[in-house]
Amino acid sequence: MFVKIRELILLLTVALVFQACSISKMASDITAGIMVGGSPVVEQESDPYVAESSGLALLKTLEVFSHHNPDNDKYKTLLAKNYANYAFGFLENKLYRYEGTDPQRYEVILARTKRFYDRGKHYGMTVLNKQGSFQRALTEDQETFEKAVRKIGRGKMEPLFWTAFSWGGLINWSKDDPIAIVGLNKVERMMSRAAELNNTFFYGGPHMFYGVYYGSRPEMLGGNKKKSKEEFEKAVKVSHGRFFFAKVLYAQFYAVQAQDRALFNQLLNEVISGDVNGLPEQRLGNILAQERAQTLLAKADSLFAGGL
């Protein structure tokens, strides 16, 4: 009789623990949905200082929830997106501001930028790697990798884009590292697949990527000014010019490469004088784009060999 009671107590204890774990996981899953639905609040912020400070807190909060509920891909996708956006919007703006003026601070921010992009890549990869063929193909030849990428469907569009975005950002700021640059072909293939699935994603994000991809290198290394211009024009068209970073990148990468200072000035002045509320869901992004536009205009003399 004593043994049976002991076994019953054990079964009840296990059942209660299991129920508690189930309730906890259920609550975490619900929170993930709330996080996804509430993320636009950050992107609508009008004060960059508030957004930058709260952005770091949000990243750690998401990491805590993801650690507690590792099977929920929503947390990891949000982490991939938010690490990428923080690095691109806040840290890169600081890099351009300190470049050539404060070498010590520049190096500190550069290390953080790489670290944030690497974390964004890591979280995105944890989602994509659940497709076993993709994970295995990462260490295989390019043809095998391309076959694996083609299997990624629309349901994984978001982690695919943000992983490629972060990986591309990491490579862009690691040009002195031959090992990092080797991954560029894989990044390009991933973004090509993202473009096939939805080339208007994130206000024409794939087009912006290719505008930078073709405009940031000389022709002997795969650059193509004509293609860069075409891609940026498509990106601007997606948001009807209301997402300012499309114009900023257009000026920064195409106009400088083409040494077209008139276009450079036109695009950046349009951004600076533009209404950040024209795209309220990207108010913060537009404010940060205006900051970068002002920084680039101040550096114009060093970016162009001659005058107008």
68 in a structural domain: no
- Better-scored residue on pLDDT, 217 or 1: 217
What mean pLDDT is predicted for residues 167-182?
Answer: 89
**Stretch 272-288: mean pLDDT:** 97
Burial class (CB in 10 A: 0-12, 13-18, 19+), 194: buried
Same domain, 145 and 205: no
**pTM (two decimals):** 0.88
In a domain, 55, yes or no: no
Would you say residue 112 lies in a domain?
yes
**191 and 168 within one domain:** yes
pLDDT at 17 over 90: no
* Residue 5 pLDDT: 54
Q: What is the DSSP letter of 131?
A: S
Are 38 and 44 in contact by the 8 Å Cβ rule? The answer is no
Whether 5 is in a domain gets the answer no
User: How many domains does one find in the chain?
Assistant: 2
- Indicate which CATH number applies to the domain containing 184: 1.25.40.920
Q: What span, in angstroms and rounded, lies between the C-alpha atoms of 255 and 247?
A: 10
Identify whether residues 203 and 191 lie together within a single domain: no
State whether 264 and 161 are in the same domain.
Answer: no
Instruction: State the pLDDT at residue 144.
Output: 95
How far does Cα 243 stand from its chain's mean position? 15
* Lowest model confidence (mean pLDDT) among 63-77, 91-105, 258-272: 63-77
Tokens of 270: 């349009």
Give me Rg for the CA atoms of the chain.
Answer: 22
Cβ–Cβ < 8 Å for 152, 131: yes
Are the CB atoms for 248 and 289 separated by under 8 Å?
A: yes
Q: Which domain holds residue 171?
A: 74-198
Which spans in the chain are helix H?
2-38, 40-43, 48-68, 73-86, 92-98, 103-128, 132-137, 142-150, 157-172, 178-181, 184-198, 201-215, 225-238, 244-249, 256-257, 261-273, 283-298, 300-303
39 part of a folded domain: no
142: which 2 tokens?
């390019």
- Is residue 255 in a domain? yes
Pair 131, 225 in one domain? no
pLDDT digits (tens, 9 = 90+) for 59-86: 998 998 888 888 899 999 999 999 999 9
For the cut 50, the answer to whether the pLDDT of residue 93 exceeds it is yes
What percentage of the chain carries pLDDT values higher than 70?
86
- For residue 212, count CB atoms less than 10 angstroms from its CB and return exposed for 0-12, middle for 13-18, buried for 19 or more: buried
Q: What is the mean pLDDT of residues 136-150?
A: 94
